[in-house]
Structure 1
Amino acid sequence: MQRLATSLRPLRQLGMMGSKPSRSASISSRFKSSAAVPEEPELGEFLDYMEKLKNYERVGVPLGAGTDTDDGFDLGRMRRLLQRLGNPHKQFKAVHIAGTKGKGSTAAFISNILREEGYSVGCYTSPHLLSIRERISVGRGGDPVSAGLLKKVFCEVKEIIDQSIEQEKGALSHFEVFTALAYLLFSEERVDIAVIEAGLGGARDATNVICSTELATSVITSIGEEHLAALGGSLESIAMAKSGIIKHGCPVVIGGPFESHIECIIRHKASLMKSMVISACDPGIQKTLKWLRMEDGKPSQTCDIVIQLEDLQMFITVPNVNLHLLGAHQLQNAATATCTALCLHDQGWVISEKSIRAGLEKTRLLGRSQFLTQMEVSSIGLSGTTILIDGAHTEASAKGLAEVIRMVQPDGVLAFLVAMASDKDHLAFARQLLSGRRPELILLTEVSIAGGRSRIALASTLKEAWTKALLESGADLADVGIMDDEKAIEDHDSCSLITSDPNEVMLASCENASIVDSVKLADQLLKSRSRDQPALIVVTGSLHVVSSLLAALHH
C-alpha cells in the first residue's frame, strides 16, 4: 500500500509548492559540491591531455561496441599504437581477466598472492575512485603508480601518441591510450607478470592484444546482463564476447556459477582454442563461509577453501582464511584466484600455500563492502551510525550486498542511499536489494558519472523503479516526496513527523544535495524512526556515488 506523507515541512510535493530552481542550475551547483579529489599538480598536463580524448565511461558505450563484429571496437588501432610504442605488451607474461562481476576483486586477490611470493607485479584495473593512478600498480608493494612515474612515461611518448591520434583520425579513446601507457610502464619497470582486467566484454576490449605467447592464463569470473546493448543484446552474446580473451593453448579459469548453456559456450570456445578449463565451481572444490569476526572495528569473514582436482593434479587446503571482502560472492572470487594461482604453479611459477593465504587475507578494496571508520563518520558530523559503502550496480551485485547486510547487521534500522547510472537495470537492482532486509528508508539521489552528466539516472526515474519494487514486495510505502535538503538538514524536529508507522518504508528523493548532505539527511530520517536501535546507512548503486563520498571525506 502506498501513502503520501504530508506532515513534513521541509519537502516539496509536486504541484503543492512554489517554483523551484531550474534543473540546470541545481545540477550545476551540486556537481561543484561533489567534485573529485584533485590529482597531484604535476599530473596537470597529463590529465588535461587525457580529458580531451573520448571517454566512453562518461558518455556511454556505442551499440555493439564490445562484440566481435563489424560494430565492435577496432583492435587494429590499439595494435598500431602499441607497435609505434615498441610493442611493450610482448615483454611480460600476463593474467587476463574478464567477467561481468568480480573482475576487480579477483585481480586484487591474484596480484596480492603473487606479490606475497616476491614477484614484481603490474596490475591494471578500472574504473578508479579517487585518482586515475589507482588503475595502475607496479612492483611488490601494490600501491598506485606514483605521479612522477606516470608523468615520466607519458612525457617520453607524448609525441608518438600525438602522431597516433592524428593517424587514427582522432579515434583513439581515453581507455586505449591509458591501457597502452600501462603496458609501456609494465615493460619499462620489468614486471615479472601483469594482472590485467578487461574494461568491456573481452573480444574487442583494448586490453585484448595479448597473444598466446604472452598469456599465462585467462580468467572469466562471471556472466551477467550488464552492458547488454554494447555486448550483443543477450546473455549468450555476452558469454561469446568475454570468451574472446581465451587464447590458443593457454588455460582458462572460470569462476561462476554459470547457467549450464552459458558455461557450454565458454567451454566450446576453450575447446576450439585447445585450452584447458579449470572451474572454481568444480565438485572437487569446497568453499565454506564459517563465521563473521570483528577486527579493529571492521568485519571480516573466516572461510575454508579446499581444492581437490584429481584430473588436473591440483590440490590445496586453506583453512580459516580471513577475508576482508565480504559475502559468498567474494569467497567465490577468492576461490577463483586460488585456482588461478594453482594454474600458474602448474606452469612453473613458484607459489606457496603461505603466499596464497597471505595474499587473500591482505586484500582490501575501496568501495567494496567498505565500512567507514568512526573517525570518518564523525568527520561528516554524524555519530552512532554505521555507514557501509559498496559500488554494487547490477542485479547480481545487489544480491551479494543484501547478503552482506544480513551478515553484518541483522537487526536495527536500515537506510539505502542510492544513485545510479542511467544505463543500468534499476528495477532488477531494487528488487534484489529488497530481497534481503527490508529498509526503513530509501533515499534516492544523483551524482555525476565519470565527471559528466550524460549517464546520470534522475532521482525521479529511480523512484519509479523503487516504488514498483517496494509494492511488488508487499511493503507499505510512505512517499516522503522530494526533500528540500537545506531546510531538512537544519530542521531536526520535523523529521519525527514523517510517519509513526514502523512497518512503512519511507521513500524520498534528494535532487539538490551534495552526497554528504544526502547522508546527513538519511541519518536524520532514519533516526526519526528509532533512536534506540543501531542504525546502518548503505550508500550504493554505482562506484561513482561511492567515489563522491570518499572524495568528500578526503577533503
Structure 2
Amino acid sequence: MDLSLARIRCLTSFLPRYTRPTIHIAGTNGKGSTTAFVDSILRHAGFLTGRFNSPHLVSIRDSILLDGHPISPDDYNQAFQSVATANQIGDCRCTNFELQTATALLVFERGFVDVAILEVGLGGRLDATNVIPDDVVLVSGISSIDLDHQAVLGDTLEQIAVEKAGIARTGRPCVLGVQSSQEVMDTVQKSVSAAGGRFIYVSEQVQQTRTTIGLQGTHQVSNAKLAVALVEALMQTPSLRQVRLEQVARGLSLVTWPGRLEWINYSKYTDRGRDTWLLADGAHNPASAEALAQYLASLPISRPRSFVVSISQSPLKSPRSTLEVILLAGDRVAVVPFGPVDGMPWVKPHDPTVVLQAAKELVGASGEAVMRGDLGSALNWAADDHPVVVVTGSLYLIADLYRLLLPRWP
C-alpha cells in the first residue's frame, strides 16, 4: 500500500477548490461512531451536513451522506464522473479510495454544506482526506488509538499516534479522545504543538448527566464525549450558529450507526417460528473486539453463545488475535468468508480454514466450530435453538448481512 498525497493533490488541482467548513476525525477505533454523533448533533441543530465514512457497507454510495442520507445514484454518478475525468486528464493515477474521497469533497462543495465531517481512511498524515486545505479545517479530532495496520503505520503506539496526529492544523484545535496509554497522549500533544495547533484532551472523568446516547456499549460514552468536545470547539468559530444543550442531547440520543452493536430481529426476515435476534458488530481488531466482549459480558445471554464470524486479511494481524478476545470455551462458531467488496477488489477474507482452526482451539472440546460456504446457512446453523447470534469479525461480513436481508429490509 502506497500512502501518499501526491496523487490526490494532482487530482484536486483539476477540480473546484474545496471550501466547506470541515471537522476532520482520525483514530484506530471509534472514529466512525464519533462522526455519526457529531453529524447527528449538528443536524438536530439545523446544520446542513455532509459526512464521509469508510469503508462503505452495502453500496459505495453509503459512504457519502448529505443531511444524514446516502447521496442519490444520480448525484453520485455525476460527481464521480467529474472526478474520473479529472483523474484521466491529469494522468493522476489515483487509487479507488482517493477517487472516492475526491468524489465526496466534490459532492459537499456542490451541495454547499454548512459543515462537512470527514473520517480518515487509514492513518491520517498521508491519508487522502488530508488533502483538504488548511483553512477549511475548523477542528480536528482523534479517537482511541491502538495497534492496527502496523505494516503501514508503524509497529509502536508512538509511531501510529504520530501518523494520526498528522491531521492537526496550525492555529486550530485538535481534540484527543479518551486514551488508555499515556504514551499516546504525550505523543499526540507533542505532534499537535509541533504543528502549531491547540491541543485539547477529553478527560476520562465522566460528568453526571441525564443525556442518553443512541449507540450501545460503554465504549460509546468516550466517543460521545469526543463528539461533544468537537462541537464545543466548533462553536468557537464566530460565523457559525450556536448549538443549544437540548440539541446536543437530542443528537446524542437519536444517532444511528449501522453495524456497531446493532440488534436485528432476524425472525422478521425469515420464516423461523420463534424470535431470533442478531447482534451485528464490525469488531475487526483486538481493541474493538474487547469492546464487544465487554458488551456481551453485560448481557443475560445463556451459554453456550452462538457466533457467525469472518475475518479480513491484514498483515501482522492473525484471526486468533481478534477471536481470542471474544470467544470462550463452549461457544458455538460458524466461520464463513465474506463476499466481494464493491469498489474494493483488493479486500479479501482470511483463509477460512485458518479462522476455523483458531476458533476450534478457543472454544475447546466443549464448544463447536464449523465452516459454512455462505452466510445464510451459517446463520441457520448458529440460530438453531439459540435466541441470540453474534455476527462479527469484519464490517464486510456485516455488509453481507445487510445484502442478505435487503429484499425485506425496512
**Structure 1 length-normalised TM:** 0.69
Q: Distance in 2 between matches of 1:443 and 1:177?
A: 36
Query: Residue in 2 aligned with 1:445?
Result: 336
**Which whole-Å deviations, capped at 9, do the CAs of 1:274-319 have from their partners, x for residues lacking one?**
3222222x26x41xxxxxxxxxxxxxxxxxxx3xxxxxxxxxx7x2
Q: Distance in 1 between matches of 2:329 and 2:214?
A: 25
**Alpha-carbon spacing, 1:275–1:158, altered in 2? closer, same or farther (3 Å):** closer
Matched, 1:535 2:387: yes
What SS class does the counterpart of residue 338 from structure 1 fall into?
helix
Q: 1:217 aligns with which of 124, 139, 153?
A: 139
Matched, 1:508 2:365: no
**Alpha-carbon spacing, 1:231–1:156, altered in 2? closer, same or farther (3 Å):** closer
Residue identity in the other structure for 2:223: N
**Which whole-Å deviations, capped at 9, do the CAs of 1:192-212 have from their partners, x for residues lacking one?**
111000101001100001233
**Alpha-carbon spacing, 1:322–1:449, altered in 2? closer, same or farther (3 Å):** farther
Tell me, yes or no, if the aligned pair for 1:109 and 1:334 is still in contact at 8 Å: yes
Residue identity in the other structure for 2:234: L
Q: Distance in 2 between matches of 1:157 and 1:219?
A: 27
Residue identity in the other structure for 1:345: M
Aligned ranges for residues 323-342 of structure 1 at < 5 Å? Answer: 323-342=213-232
Q: Distance in 2 between matches of 1:183 and 1:383?
A: 46
Query: Residue in 1 aligned with 2:102?
Result: 180
Which stretches of structure 1, 4 residues or more, deviate above 6 A after TM superposition? none
Tell me, yes or no, if the aligned pair for 1:368 and 1:389 is still in contact at 8 Å: yes
Residue 161 of structure 1 and its aligned partner are, at CA, apart by 3.0
Ranges in structure 1 where 5+ consecutive residues have no aligned partner? 1-61, 66-72, 287-305, 307-316, 471-476, 479-503, 528-533
Matched, 1:373 2:265: yes
**Which whole-Å deviations, capped at 9, do the CAs of 1:460-496 have from their partners, x for residues lacking one?**
10123234444xxxxxx23xxxxxxxxxxxxxxxxxx
What fraction of aligned residue pairs are identical, expressed as a percent?
Answer: 29
Query: Residue in 1 aligned with 2:349?
Result: 456
Aligned ranges for residues 309-348 of structure 1 at < 5 Å? Answer: 319-348=209-238
Residue 156 of structure 1 and its aligned partner are, at CA, apart by 4.6
Ranges in structure 2 where 5+ consecutive residues have no aligned partner? none
**Alpha-carbon spacing, 1:454–1:127, altered in 2? closer, same or farther (3 Å):** closer
Query: Residue in 1 aligned with 2:381?
Result: 521
Tell me, yes or no, if the aligned pair for 1:212 and 1:250 is still in contact at 8 Å: no
Q: Distance in 2 between matches of 1:267 and 1:543?
A: 31
Residue identity in the other structure for 2:214: H
Matched, 1:116 2:39: no
**Which whole-Å deviations, capped at 9, do the CAs of 1:234-282 have from their partners, x for residues lacking one?**
22221111111011111111113231112111010111123222222x2
What SS class does the counterpart of residue 215 from structure 2 fall into?
coil
Tell me, yes or no, if the aligned pair for 2:157 and 2:183 is still in contact at 8 Å: no
What SS class does the counterpart of residue 368 from structure 2 fall into?
strand
What SS class does the counterpart of residue 248 from structure 1 fall into?
coil
Larger Rg: 1
Tell me, yes or no, if the aligned pair for 1:420 and 1:456 is still in contact at 8 Å: yes
Q: Distance in 1 between matches of 2:201 and 2:361?
A: 38
Query: Residue in 2 aligned with 1:360?
Result: 252
Q: Distance in 2 between matches of 1:380 and 1:458?
A: 32
Q: Distance in 2 between matches of 1:158 and 1:92?
A: 21
**Alpha-carbon spacing, 1:380–1:425, altered in 2? closer, same or farther (3 Å):** farther
Residue 380 of structure 1 and its aligned partner are, at CA, apart by 5.9
Choose between structure 1 and 2: higher strand proportion. 1
Residue identity in the other structure for 1:383: R
Q: 2:151 aligns with which of 222, 229, 245?
A: 229
Query: Residue in 1 aligned with 2:63?
Result: 135
Residue 392 of structure 1 and its aligned partner are, at CA, apart by 0.7
**Alpha-carbon spacing, 1:161–1:381, altered in 2? closer, same or farther (3 Å):** farther
Q: 1:427 aligns with which of 320, 326, 333?
A: 320
Query: Residue in 1 aligned with 2:122?
Result: 200
Q: Indicate the structure whose relative CO is greater, using CA pairs within 8 Å and at least 6 residues apart.
A: 1
**Alpha-carbon spacing, 1:353–1:507, altered in 2? closer, same or farther (3 Å):** same
Residue identity in the other structure for 1:518: A
Q: Distance in 1 between matches of 2:36 and 2:347?
A: 30
**Which whole-Å deviations, capped at 9, do the CAs of 1:206-236 have from their partners, x for residues lacking one?**
0001233111111110111111101123222
**Alpha-carbon spacing, 1:380–1:124, altered in 2? closer, same or farther (3 Å):** farther
Aligned ranges for residues 393-404 of structure 1 at < 5 Å? Answer: 393-404=284-295
Residue 79 of structure 1 and its aligned partner are, at CA, apart by 1.4
Residue 322 of structure 1 and its aligned partner are, at CA, apart by 2.4
**Alpha-carbon spacing, 1:323–1:380, altered in 2? closer, same or farther (3 Å):** farther
Q: Distance in 2 between matches of 1:151 and 1:194?
A: 20
**Which whole-Å deviations, capped at 9, do the CAs of 1:155-195 have from their partners, x for residues lacking one?**
4555323213xx23xx3111111111111111111111110
Query: Residue in 1 aligned with 2:12?
Result: 82
Tell me, yes or no, if the aligned pair for 1:394 and 1:425 is still in contact at 8 Å: no
Matched, 1:466 2:359: yes
Range with greater deviation from structure 2 (327-336 or 229-238): 229-238
Aligned ranges for residues 15-414 of structure 1 at < 5 Å? Answer: 62=1, 65=2, 73-87=3-17, 89=18, 91-138=19-66, 141-156=67-82, 158-164=84-90, 167-168=91-92, 171-280=93-202, 282=203, 285-286=205-206, 306=207, 319-348=209-238, 349=240, 350-373=242-265, 375-376=267-268, 378-379=269-270, 381=272, 383-411=274-302, 413-414=304-305
Residue 325 of structure 1 and its aligned partner are, at CA, apart by 1.2
Residue identity in the other structure for 2:237: Q
What SS class does the counterpart of residue 388 from structure 1 fall into?
strand
Tell me, yes or no, if the aligned pair for 1:415 and 1:439 is still in contact at 8 Å: no
Range with greater deviation from structure 2 (328-337 or 416-425): 416-425
Residue identity in the other structure for 1:458: D
Residue 124 of structure 1 and its aligned partner are, at CA, apart by 0.6
Q: Distance in 1 between matches of 2:31 and 2:395?
A: 14
What SS class does the counterpart of residue 128 from structure 2 fall into?
coil
